[in-house]
């Protein structure tokens, strides 16, 4: 991934004009008759990233998918930096959002986690796109507003609500990355994690002494037997979400007390 492949790497004014479709955006009525639209450019880019990853995404590859010249794509989007923001905002706009009203707070938080996990499974490139400086488009803003509802009315300060959501999404993203990496490793090697460990087992049995590494051998064997691998993304998600909810409960109870 290039150094500029992160959110808000482009010109902030031009990016926000595009995100909110404000006057002055690139791709206005100036110049020759247009053959496509900003939305079509974004949709083509998302399709490429979903199918081939961000490394395959270039202005040229988007142009080829749309059947226009590479220079024509710049009529609609100034460059790849702005395009990434548009892509991210677009998938955020379309992601599932359940109605949270009336749910207990633990269920609300679990729903938010599940919605984000589903998004990252569908658009794996999102898990690797740094968003510490988010471009505040309509999709990003709607997502943030929706997710904050899980923490509203619990006695937390606004800063604590923001921090709790950030912590939750960081947990979901970290687990999603490992699941994605595991799937890619299996696809690249042509063998599952279980098959890989079976091939490595004879050598490991010779070098891993239970006397020298008692905890590593005992606990590692238990995990391997349970997961048929060294790691289970589903188990890590369920375990981690439960511990996250417990941590939030302690904070909420301290505020209400």
Answer positive or negative: Cα dihedral of 78, 136, 46, 126: positive
The answer to whether residue 7 sits within a structural domain is: no
Q: How many CB atoms lie within 10 A of CB 237?
A: 20
Q: What are phi and psi of 45, to 5 degrees?
A: -65, -40
CA 26 – CA 59 distance, rounded (Å):
15
Same domain, 239 and 123: yes
pLDDT at 225: 86
Predicted confidence band of residue 1 (pLDDT cuts 50, 70, 90): low
Structural domain including 151 reads 97-256
pLDDT at 23: 65
89 contacts 163 by C-beta, under 8 angstroms? no
Same domain, 117 and 237: yes
Query: What is the pLDDT of the chain when averaged over all its residues?
Result: 90
Same domain, 67 and 194: no
The answer to whether residue 6 sits within a structural domain is: no
Tell me the average pLDDT across 124-147.
94
Q: What is the CATH number of the domain that holds 229?
A: 1.10.357.10
**Does 2 score more than 60 pLDDT?**
no
Residue where a domain terminates, one of 40, 60, 93 = 93
CA 252, 127, 43, 143: dihedral to nearest 10 degrees? 10
How many residues in the chain? 257
Same domain, 103 and 73: no
**Does 175 score more than 70 pLDDT?**
yes
Same domain, 30 and 78: yes
Structure letter (DSSP) for residue 149: T
Lowest mean pLDDT among 158-167, 177-186, 191-200: 191-200
The answer to whether residue 165 sits within a structural domain is: yes
Tens digits of per-residue pLDDT, 86-119?
999 999 999 999 999 999 999 999 999 999 999 9
Tokens 């998938």 belong to 91
**Does 3 score more than 50 pLDDT?**
no
Tell me the average pLDDT across 80-84.
95
Same domain, 180 and 113: yes
CA 52 – CA 58 distance, rounded (Å):
11
Same domain, 240 and 127: yes
Question: In whole angstroms, what separates CA 186 from the centre of its chain?
Answer: 20
CA 98, 104, 105, 106: dihedral to nearest 10 degrees? -90
Domain count of the fold of the chain:
2
The answer to whether residue 3 sits within a structural domain is: no
Same domain, 75 and 190: no
CA 190 – CA 62 distance, rounded (Å):
30
Same domain, 133 and 38: no
Tens digits of per-residue pLDDT, 195-238?
877 888 888 888 988 999 999 999 988 988 888 777 789 999 99
The answer to whether residue 221 sits within a structural domain is: yes
**In a 3-state reduction of DSSP, which class is residue 12?**
helix
Residue where a domain terminates, one of 93, 115, 149 = 93
Predicted confidence band of residue 180 (pLDDT cuts 50, 70, 90): very high
Same domain, 117 and 64: no
Q: What is the CATH number of the domain that holds 19?
A: 1.10.10.60
CA 19 – CA 135 distance, rounded (Å):
8
Same domain, 136 and 219: yes
Same domain, 88 and 53: yes
pLDDT at 28: 46
The answer to whether residue 232 sits within a structural domain is: yes
């Amino acid at each position: 991934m290039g150094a500029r492949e992160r959110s808000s790497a482009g010109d902030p004014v031009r990016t926000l004009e595009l995100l909110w479709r404000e006057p002055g955006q690139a791709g206005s009525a100036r110049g020759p008759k247009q053959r496509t639209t900003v939305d079509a450019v974004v949709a083509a880019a998302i399709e490429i990233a979903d199918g081939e990853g961000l490394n395959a995404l270039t202005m040229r590859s988007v142009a080829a998918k749309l059947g226009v010249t590479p220079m024509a794509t710049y009529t609609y989007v100034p460059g790849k930096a702005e395009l990434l923001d548009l892509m991210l905002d677009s998938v955020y706009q379309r992601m599932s959002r359940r109605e949270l009203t009336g749910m207990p707070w633990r269920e609300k938080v679990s729903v938010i986690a599940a919605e984000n996990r589903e998004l990252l499974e569908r658009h794996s490139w999102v898990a690797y796109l740094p968003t510490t400086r988010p471009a505040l488009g309509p999709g990003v803003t709607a997502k943030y507003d929706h997710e904050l509802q899980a923490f509203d009315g619990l006695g937390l300060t606004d800063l604590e609500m923001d921090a709790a959501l950030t912590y939750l999404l960081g947990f979901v993203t970290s687990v999603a990355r490992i699941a994605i990496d595991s799937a890619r490793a299996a696809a690249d090697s042509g063998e599952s994690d279980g098959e890989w460990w079976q091939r490595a087992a004879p050598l490991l049995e010779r070098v891993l002494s239970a006397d020298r590494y008692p905890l590593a051998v005992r606990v590692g064997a238990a995990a391997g037997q349970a997961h048929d691998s060294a790691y289970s993304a589903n188990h890590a998600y369920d375990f981690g979400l439960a511990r996250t909810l417990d941590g939030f409960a302690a904070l909420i109870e301290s505020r209400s007390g």
